[in-house]
Amino acid sequence: MLTGRAYVGVMSVFDRMVPDDFEQVVFCHDANTGLRSIIAVHDTSLGPALGGVRMRAYPREEDALTDCLRLARGMTFKAAIAGVNLGGGKSVIIGDPKHDKTEALLKAHGRFIQTLHGRYIPGMDSGTEMRDLEVIATEADRVSCVRNDPSPMTALGVLEGIKACVHARFGTGSLDGVKVCVQGVGHVGSSLAGKLVAEGAEVTVADADGPRAKEVAGEIGATKVDADALLATPCDVLAPCAYGGVIDDSTVDTLRCAIVAGGANNVLAEPRHGEELQARGILYAPDYCINAGGLISLEEEILGHDEQRTERRVRSVGKLVADVLRRAEQDGVSPAHAATAMATERLTALSAVGPKYVSR
């Protein structure tokens, strides 16, 4: 059943929805499985909202809501700037994926998703895998990531975006000898690290799961450092590929990089940290721009296009990042500000054409 269980006060939920024009937030609870989850639909001007199912042991329920809202809004802007005809949404399941995830719990979440009748299309995210989406698909009609893992395509887009940043900063498109620190070696981070090594980059990896980082480093020929040491490690490119909020007041002063460009969502704890990076002379590739490859590949899957077309379109993320950097320079603003302006322009133009997506 749906419930109004007080994750935060009812008025505070609406207070947080209104400024960013959220369409819908659903709080879900199933007593039999212990499910506590949230589904956020931010904007469906461009189409049904697509976004991953994240499962995480959040310290507080309010943290889960904050993460869900930020991620859903980011998906809207990711689709808009990448030319994808999908809206922005996200869902989070509160719990430790290693200990609390069960088939029954995933099916319960799928039943809640089905109540939205296609307005929200779930996919993979931190804490979920393809087999989890297959379970959700037994209860919900519209589910992505059941045939293909989009992570390698996300990593490919990030790789091309890093090349664009290296060219903008150092005047070369080659990654040979470029020092890259990859934070987080999950689905996207491990794939990106391998692609970087193949391009000749000198890669250092770190992860909260130390043994996992050591394993990946050994497999691809990278260097491994402790997770708490990575941000201060001197490098040309810092590639955050773990959870968001990595650039905040306490970390921005520790950075020893020329470029921040990675696959994580919501890299900046607050928008103002994009301006902080700009002031420090650090080039920042806006996360929802450089990590759009996975979303692009999912749209291509929905459209039924072949792998060659999908790869060509994903590789165009490099051109998109270059366009954002040029726009920022022309307008005299930070790349984060330029990307927001470019995404907003498309959203504004298309939202005026007709009604927002209505479930079928």
Write out the catalytic residue numbers: 90
Q: What is the CA radius of gyration of the chain?
A: 19
Sign of CA dihedral 170, 171, 173, 177: negative
Nearest residue to 237 (alpha-carbon basis) of 212, 255, 224? 255
β-strand partners of 35: 30
β-strand partners of 90: 40
What beta strand segments (E) does 234-281 contain?
Answer: 237-240, 259-260
Residues 6+ apart with CB under 8 A from 91: 37, 38, 39, 40, 51, 52, 53, 54, 68, 109, 113, 120, 122
Interatomic CA distance for residues 266 and 270, integer angstroms:
9
Backbone angle region of 19, left / alpha / beta, with phi > 0 → left and psi within -120 to 50 → alpha: alpha
Give the total residue count for the chain. Answer: 360
- DSSP letter at 145 equals S
What angle do the packed helices 307-315 and 151-170 form, to 10 degrees? 30
Interatomic CA distance for residues 184 and 134, integer angstroms:
25
C-beta separation of 89 from 39 below 8 A: yes
Query: Which residue's entry shows tokens 């060509």?
Result: 312
Interatomic CA distance for residues 258 and 166, integer angstroms:
9
Query: Which residue's entry shows tokens 């990278």?
Result: 222
